[in-house]
Amino acid sequence: MTLDKLNIGESAIIKAVNCENALKNRFYSFGMVKGSKVYIEEVTLTKSTMEIRINTTKVAIRLSEAKKIEIENEQ
């Protein structure tokens, strides 16, 4: 499953980040690495961006970028 499939208020664990190096480095700088817990805070009305929280960091990403992040349900 990918990050864009989660709804507001849901959380999951990042399993993999599948994108080009520049975007991957940007994600890593936010703490979006394998094993990190991610929460969905908000999604825009147009469904084009979402606000996520990783630890104490909040980040807005495009849904097209969220499709590149594989997640798994929390155990």
For residues 41 and 74, the model is more confident at 41
Give me the pLDDT at residue 75, please: 66
Give me the pLDDT at residue 7, please: 95
Domains along the sequence of the chain with CATH: 3-73 (2.30.30.90)
pLDDT band at 5 (very low <50, low <70, confident <90, very high): very high
Structure letter (DSSP) for residue 67? T
CA distances from 44 to 7, 21, 33, 48, 72 (A): 12, 27, 24, 6, 23
pTM of this structure: 0.89
Q: Is 54 exposed, middle or buried (0-12, 13-18, 19+ CB in 10 A)?
A: middle
Give me the pLDDT at residue 38, please: 97
Helix, strand, coil shares, percent, the chain, to 5 = 20, 40, 35
Give me the pLDDT at residue 74, please: 81
